């Protein structure tokens, strides 16, 4: 009789252990869409300056006698004076942005996102 009661108590303990509900603790649970942002800008300034001068002088005379004092034709003088100035200023600005988002889910104690170590 003692043997039967030990078997019955053992069977009741097994049934009691099997009836306890089993569950998994999955907290904390975090999720989201991390976004990678890259911004870049480029600014360029340029300034150029140029100056040029040209001065020319030419005398042409037609003497008709051997004496330079008495000449029948006048002396022709030609003067050319040129100046050039050039200035240029340039400005350029370029901006670029890129965005990348991916879904991220972490269940339980795992801190590793779904796409590796990003």
The distance from CA 46 to its chain's CA centroid, rounded to whole angstroms, is 21
Report pLDDT digits (tens) over 66-115.
555 665 677 788 999 999 999 999 999 999 999 888 777 666 555 555 44
- Provide the residue ranges of all domains of the chain, joining segments of one domain with +: 2-60+73-107
| 97 and 39 Cβ atoms separated by less than 8 Å | yes
- Residues 39-64 have a mean pLDDT of 90
**pLDDT at residue 29, rounded to an integer:** 57
> How far, in Å, are 21, 34, 101, 109 from residue 29 at the CA level?
22, 15, 19, 8
């Amino acid at each position: 009789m003692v043997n039967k009661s030990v078997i019955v108590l053992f069977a009741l303990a097994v049934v009691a252990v099997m009836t306890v509900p089993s569950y998994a603790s999955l907290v904390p649970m975090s999720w989201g869409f991390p976004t990678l942002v890259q911004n870049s800008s480029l600014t360029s300034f340029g300034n150029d300056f140029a100056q040029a001068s040209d001065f020319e002088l030419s005398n042409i005379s037609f003497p008709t006698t051997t004496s330079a004092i008495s000449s029948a034709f006048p002396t022709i003088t030609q003067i050319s004076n040129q100046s050039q100035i050039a200035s240029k200023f340039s400005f350029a600005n370029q901006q670029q942005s890129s965005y990348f988002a991916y879904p991220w889910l972490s269940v339980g104690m795992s801190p590793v996102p779904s796409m590796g170590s990003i």
